[in-house]
Amino acid sequence: MYFGAHFSIQGGYHIAAEKANEMGCTTLQIFTRSSRIWKAKSMNPDAASKFKEAIQKSGLKKPVVHLPYLPNFATDDPTIYEKSNQSLKEEIQRCGLLGIQLLVVHVGSHKGKGVATGIKNVVKHLDSVNDVAAENKVYICLETSAGTKNSTGSKFEEIGSIIQKTSDDKMIGVCFDTAHIFAAGYDIRTPESVERTITEFENEIGLKRLKVVHCNDSKFELGSGKDRHEHIGLGNIGEKGFKAFFSNSRIKKLEVPVILETPIDEKGTHETDFKKLKEIVGF
């Protein structure tokens, strides 16, 4: 596994890579633009080249891009659908310019229309961008949801259904968020519960699809349906939970990026959480 965190691109994409390297990371995640806007300026080829050079120089492996938060692939609202689809296509192309093969996306909300409708809408999006994903060699990684109201993708079988219904699933992966799956009701606090959760993931989706791990503790209890991240070891998953998760024999075999998205506040930063995770896992 490769361990890292989400880094700001302020000052340039290459600055994020340099900061990750300075922290001792072996991978990183970035936004390629503001996470709260639909449109962005075209990517400067020189900026992309500097990033790729920084990645090569630092030895960082399997970098990840996270799609901005505004797109919603589960809704059938025609205006949001078109904006979301265009945003996804543009982001895949931006990943291609940066040489990044892993793009994490939030599945979205069906807005009260039901999970079946949400799944249908997500499949339509994935089918429409399959060619551009293959051309740019970018895996679209569907992030597990926390089970908030009207969410699509909070259950493994829902993500499995999305993948099964696509016309071509070669460029579709999954991002396993520890805080989200815990909030959705999947326990990972003991070796036994981790094994049950991983077995269900294998049966419904397949571990070969697991391309990215978002490593976050949960501020709320198991099955809360609340998406609130906490510092590693300070939440309801706890140190024992992360020890159990990363000690699982099937998890240990994965060669995937593990990304911290923990808070930055008076209790800690990505750097303190990175040190804590290193202490727990022993990487």
Active site residue 214: yes
Active site residue 187: no
**Residue among 90, 143, 217, 230 flagged as catalytic:** 143
Active site residue 196: no
Active site residue 110: no
46: number of Cβ within 10 Å:
9
Residue 235 in tokens: 């939440």
**Residue among 209, 214, 231, 270 flagged as catalytic:** 214
**Residue among 66, 94, 189, 231 flagged as catalytic:** 66
**Residue among 36, 46, 255, 266 flagged as catalytic:** 36
SS3 state at 90: helix
Active site residue 217: no
In the chain, beta strands by DSSP E: 2-6, 27-30, 64-66, 102-106, 139-143, 172-177, 210-215, 217-218, 229-230, 257-260
Active site residue 180: yes
**Residue among 90, 91, 158, 177 flagged as catalytic:** 177
**Residue among 229, 231, 270, 273 flagged as catalytic:** 229
**Residue among 22, 53, 69, 168 flagged as catalytic:** 69
**Residue among 227, 230, 231, 273 flagged as catalytic:** 227
**Residue among 202, 239, 261, 271 flagged as catalytic:** 261
Active site residue 261: yes
Q: Whats the size of the chain, residue-wise?
A: 283
Dihedral of CA 113/84/165/254: which sign?
Answer: negative
Active site residue 81: no
**Residue among 14, 94, 106, 231 flagged as catalytic:** 106
Phi-psi category of 15—alpha, beta or left, where left has phi over 0 and alpha has psi -120 to 50? alpha
Active site residue 18: no
| Residues recognised as catalytic | 36, 66, 69, 106, 143, 177, 180, 214, 227, 229, 261
